[in-house]
Each structure stands twice: as structure tokens, then as C-alpha cells.
């Protein structure tokens, strides 16, 4: 019985090492493998401090390069101008719905490395690599060396985290603060509860300062990254009461000091945000109490299995997947409990399931649906705890099935993550730029039936500065009359080429019915066909409905 264990143990460690290495390589390979999605350009314009200069397009064409300039840091000739830029970053933050830390770190990162896709994604990739290392530390503390490797491997290959490790929003960083805070708190609990000689404790106390700094810093960073991290703060407080009640006040002081450090922003920044955005808490009202259960299932199915594929799937698939995940996690819990592995099990359940239940309870009481908002990304801090529960079962209860199940799960994760990046199109606006470059010296007017900032800024970021490109961006109901006015006031020699970008989802200005949409499209077609000819038509699609466009290229009648 001993010999198979000796064979399996190093083999499983090797598999875990290999999975971690592949996860790291994938993050580096995919640094520039996709365009910014809708919300990422918001992070970029806030981080540059240029959000205060953004103006919604009006009913007249404007140079597209004017918007391109907003996605770079303004030129600064002296310290005073640099301070002005930094002041504008804070002004931009006050119109957002998130705390400032992720935007501020991105601002300084851009100063060092620039604003390209690969450069900006590099920051969050670095955070994710540190998180993978921290996951090893957390797993090693609770389960030993092999348990740490398994937890790190599951996090490194998890398709949901892989996607958010290449996303300049705040969610990838949030996982880092989650893992660091849990690891540091459990180390401090271990120090408080262990029975050792004074000499041994004296040696361990050298690390005490480090764990205190890590705990306070990680909790503060999490609270300054996302407001819903408050659920995680409550979770850590409950963990203290379960694992080290006799020293609750020392741990309470540490967590309380973290909250204290956020008070200046809460008193100034959050109040300003609430004034500018009364819906800061979210307005996600729906009908039907059963939907709260579906939200929980959808979030678990997305985070633990489907990853970013969820944006292209019918809603029923993540719900069904989540129900299967719930059954499997329940089975793991029962198995571990029966085997008497209860302390580690309780810790894993507290870190993974408790914050999800807290958020769901608040949703039920408030009548809101925040748990699955954004395909579960607002609750991404439950992911490490859920993976810890899976790791615990693999390490302590899987028995002879440990190796095949671990390998199967890691291969499944890698398959889902790699297929997400290799099979799904994420180059919509690059294709528009390629169309423009087909006639590199031809002045062009882009008519876009959306004035949503995400569409405008993404188009501006990927469109080349030359040839001269003008933009007419209007809601669907206003584009036809605006375009007609522009063409009547000019002549066809001014715009020898017109590119009509028909957005399937103009975000905030959709027409009520498909009939209305078709009617407006016919107006534009008729208007353009009077002096131009249709030379190219192309369908563009991405991973979300807001990425779907129909591109029609019209050239002046008589031109080749």
C-alpha cells in the first residue's frame, strides 16, 4: 500500500508544476491576443485622467483622432502639469462606481510601460502571477506542499481567472488581495494558537510583522478596489470567531485598522460618487425569488467551469452547470465531513461559500441581483475558497481517484481556457482598421449608430491616424437625419468613402423593436445609395452582443 503512494505523490506534484507552468506561459502568450472589451477602455480613459475631457459625439462629424488622444497620457512639460493630470484622474474616479486603487495602479503602470494592449494587460498578469504564488502559500499552510501545488495549479489554469488575468478591470487584482488576506490571517491565527517553546515562538515572531503588514495591506487594497469586498471583510471576521475566538480582539484590531485606512476615501470619494451616481449600489431588479438561486448557480458554474465562454452561451447552460457544481461541492463536503477532516473543511467553506451566501442574502433582502452581475465577476473573491474546497477533497478524500480526477480537471480547465482565446473572435475593430487601410489615402467618414463611449473609444483606439477619419456617432433613431444633414451641407468629394458601422447592440439607445431598427437601416441605405455605391459588406462579431457589427463600405459613385 505504501509503494503506490510513493509513486503517485511525485507524479502528481509534477503534474501540478506542469499545469502552473502552462498557466504562466498562457498569460504571457495571450498578453496582446485580444482587443480591449467595452469596460476596459473605461479603465484606460480614467487611468489617463482624460475622462474629464470626454464629450459625447454630437450631430456633426468630429476627427476620430480627437478621441484617440483621450486614451493616452497628456503631454506634460513640468511637474505642475503632471500634478494636473493626477488631479484629473481623481476627478474621473468620482464619476465611476468603483474605488480608486485599480485605476491608480494602472495610471502609474501606463507612465512606465505605455498604453498598448500588451503593456496594460501586463500589469494584471503580474498581479495574477503573484496570486498563483500566494495560492501555493495558502494551500501549503493548510494542506502541505502538494496541496499548495494543487491549489496553485487549479488557480493558474482556471479559465475564469485566466480570462480576468488578461483584463485591465479590477477583478484580477481582487483575487490577489483575497488570497493574500486569507493566507496572512491564517498565519496569524496559527501563531496565536500554536503551542511551542518560547525560543520557537521567538523565531516565528520575526515573521509576525510581515503577516500583519500583508493582512492590513491586502484588506485595505481589496476595499479600495471594489466595494463588495466588504463581504470578504465580514468573512474574515467570521473566520476569526471560528478559528481563534480567544484572540478575537487582536485580529479585530488588524481588520479594523484596514477599514480605518479607507476612511478618507469613504468620506470624500465615495460621497462624491454617490452624488454623481445615485445608483452606485446597483439597480438590478428582476422578478421572482427563485432567480436568486439561479444567480448563485450561474455564478458557481461560470467561475468553476465555463469561464468567459459564458458570454456566448444561453443563460440556461451556466445555471445547469452551476447546479451540477453545487451537487459536486456538496458531495465533497459530505465526504470530507464523514472522514473527520472538519477544521480544514470549515475554513474552505467559510472562504468559498460563506461570502456567496452573504451576498445572496443581502440581494434577497434588498430585492437586487448583484451576485451574478457581469457574469459573476463582482463575486470573484469566492473563487480561491471554492478551489481550496476542491483541492482539500483531492488531497484528503479522493483516494485512488486522486490522480485521474486531478489530471482530468486540469486538462478540462486548460481546454476551456485555450479554446476561449483561440476559437472566439476578439478583433472587431482591427478589422475596421484593415478596411480603412485598404485605401490608405482616402478621407473617410465613419457613421456609427451608437454614441456609447465604449464603442466610440474602442473604435478610436484601433483606428489608424492616417488617412483622415471623421466620426459621426449617433443613436440609431438619430443617425439617418444627422447623416442626411451632413451630406446635404457638403458634397461627395469631401467624403469619397463612408463606412457605416451598424451596431447590433448600441448599449443605451436600442430601438424598441426589430421593425424599428430595420426601418432606420433602410433610411440610411437609401440615403447612401443616392450618391455612393456599396463596395463591401462584412459581419463582425466578438464574445458579447455589444461586439456584433455589420460593416458596409460605400464609395463615391464613379470611383473605382
Cell numbers describing residue 307: 469561464
Contact predicate 20/156, CB 8 Å: yes
**pLDDT tens profile 457-466:** 999 999 887 7
**pLDDT tens profile 140-189:** 999 999 999 999 999 999 999 999 999 999 999 999 999 999 999 999 99
**pLDDT tens profile 336-381:** 999 999 999 999 999 999 999 999 999 888 888 889 888 999 999 9
pTM of the model: 0.93
**Residue 325's pLDDT band (boundaries 50, 70, 90)?**
very high
- The predicted pLDDT at position 391 comes to 98
- Residues 171-207 as b/e (b if ≥16 CB within 10 A, e otherwise) read bbbbbbbbbbbbbbbbbbbebeeeeeeeeeeeeeeee
Contact predicate 447/57, CB 8 Å: no
Does the structure show a pLDDT above 70 at 287?
no
Angle at 228 between CA 141 and CA 277, to 5 degrees: 155
**Residue 290's pLDDT band (boundaries 50, 70, 90)?**
confident
The 3-state DSSP class for residue 7 equals helix
Instruction: Give, for 555, the enclosing helix (H) or strand (E).
Output: strand 549-556
Q: Which domains does the chain have, with CATH numbers?
A: 2-30+94-282+291-423 (no CATH), 428-556 (3.40.50)
Q: Is the peptide bond before 52 cis (omega within 30 degrees of 0)?
A: no
- The predicted pLDDT at position 291 comes to 84
Residues 241 and 48: their CA atoms lie apart, in Å, by 43
Does the structure show a pLDDT above 80 at 444?
yes
- The predicted pLDDT at position 264 comes to 93
Contact predicate 552/449, CB 8 Å: no
Amino acid at each position: 500500500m505504501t509503494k503506490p503512494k510513493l509513486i503517485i505523490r511525485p507524479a502528481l506534484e509534477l503534474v501540478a508544476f506542469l499545469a502552473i507552468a502552462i498557466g504562466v506561459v498562457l498569460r504571457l502568450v495571450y498578453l496582446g491576443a485580444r482587443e480591449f472589451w467595452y469596460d476596459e477602455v473605461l479603465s484606460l480613459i480614467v487611468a489617463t485622467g482624460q475622462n474629464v475631457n470626454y464629450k459625447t459625439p454630437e450631430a456633426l462629424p468630429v476627427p476620430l483622432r480627437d478621441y484617440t488622444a483621450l486614451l493616452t497620457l497628456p503631454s506634460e512639460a513640468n511637474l505642475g502639469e503632471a500634478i494636473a493630470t493626477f488631479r484629473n484622474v481623481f476627478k474621473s474616479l468620482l464619476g465611476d462606481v468603483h474605488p480608486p486603487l485599480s485605476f491608480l495602479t494602472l495610471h502609474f503602470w501606463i507612465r512606465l510601460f505605455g498604453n498598448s494592449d500588451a503593456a496594460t494587460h501586463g500589469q494584471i498578469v503580474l498581479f495574477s502571477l503573484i496570486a498563483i504564488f500566494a495560492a501555493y502559500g495558502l494551500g501549503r499552510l493548510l494542506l502541505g506542499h502538494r496541496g499548495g501545488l494543487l491549489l496553485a495549479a487549479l488557480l493558474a489554469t482556471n479559465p475564469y481567472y485566466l480570462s480576468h488575468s488578461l483584463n485591465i478591470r479590477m477583478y484580477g487584482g481582487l483575487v490577489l488581495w483575497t488570497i493574500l488576506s486569507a493566507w496572512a490571517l491564517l498565519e496569524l491565527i496559527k501563531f496565536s494558537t500554536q503551542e511551542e517553546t518560547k525560543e520557537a515562538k521567538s523565531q516565528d515572531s520575526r515573521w509576525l510583522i510581515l503577516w500583519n503588514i500583508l493582512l492590513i495591506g491586502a484588506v485595505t487594497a481589496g476595499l479600495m478596489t471594489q466595494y463588495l469586498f466588504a463581504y470578504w471583510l465580514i468573512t474574515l471576521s467570521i473566520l476569526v470567531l471560528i478559528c481563534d475566538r480567544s484572540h478575537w480582539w487582536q485580529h479585530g484590531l488588524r481588520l479594523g485598522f484596514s477599514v480605518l485606512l479607507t476612511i478618507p476615501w469613504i468620506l470624500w470619494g465615495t460621497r462624491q460618487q454617490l452624488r454623481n451616481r445615485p445608483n452606485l449600489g446597483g439597480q438590478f431588479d428582476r422578478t421572482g425569488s427563485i432567480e436568486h438561486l439561479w444567480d448563485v448557480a450561474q455564478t458557481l458554474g461560470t467561475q468553476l467551469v465555463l469561464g468567459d465562454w459564458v458570454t456566448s452561451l444561453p443563460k440556461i447552460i451556466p445555471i445547469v452547470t452551476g447546479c451540477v457544481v453545487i451537487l459536486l461541492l456538496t458531495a465533497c463536503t459530505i465526504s470530507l465531513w464523514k472522514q473527520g477532516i472538519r477544521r480544514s473543511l470549515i475554513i474552505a467553506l467559510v472562504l468559498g461559500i460563506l461570502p456567496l451566501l452573504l451576498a445572496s442574502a443581502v440581494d434577497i433582502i434588498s430585492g437586487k441581483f448583484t451576485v451574478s452581475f457581469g457574469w459573476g465577476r463582482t463575486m470573484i473573491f469566492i473563487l480561491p475558497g471554492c478551489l481550496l474546497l476542491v483541492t482539500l477533497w483531492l488531497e484528503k478524500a479522493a483516494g485512488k481517484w486522486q490522480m485521474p480526477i486531478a489530471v482530468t480537471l486540469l486538462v478540462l480547465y486548460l481546454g476551456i481556457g485555450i479554446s476561449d482565446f483561440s476559437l472566439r473572435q476578439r478583433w472587431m475593430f482591427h478589422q475596421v482598421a484593415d478596411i480603412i487601410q485598404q485605401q490608405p489615402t482616402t478621407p473617410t467618414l465613419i457613421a456609427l449608430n451608437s454614441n456609447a463611449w465604449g464603442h466610440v473609444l474602442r473604435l478610436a483606439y484601433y483606428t489608424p491616424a492616417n488617412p483622415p477619419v471623421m466620426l459621426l456617432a449617433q443613436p440609431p433613431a438619430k443617425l439617418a437625419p444627422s447623416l442626411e444633414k451632413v451630406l446635404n451641407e457638403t458634397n461627395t468629394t469631401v467624403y469619397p468613402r463612408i463606412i457605416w458601422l451598424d451596431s447590433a447592440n448600441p448599449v443605451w439607445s436600442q430601438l424598441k423593436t426589430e421593425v424599428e431598427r430595420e426601418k432606420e437601416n433602410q433610411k440610411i441605405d437609401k440615403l447612401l445609395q443616392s450618391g455612393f455605391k456599396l463596395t463591401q459588406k462584412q459581419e463582425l462579431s466578438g464574445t458579447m452582443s455589444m461586439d456584433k457589427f455589420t460593416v458596409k463600405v460605400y464609395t463615391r459613385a464613379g470611383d473605382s
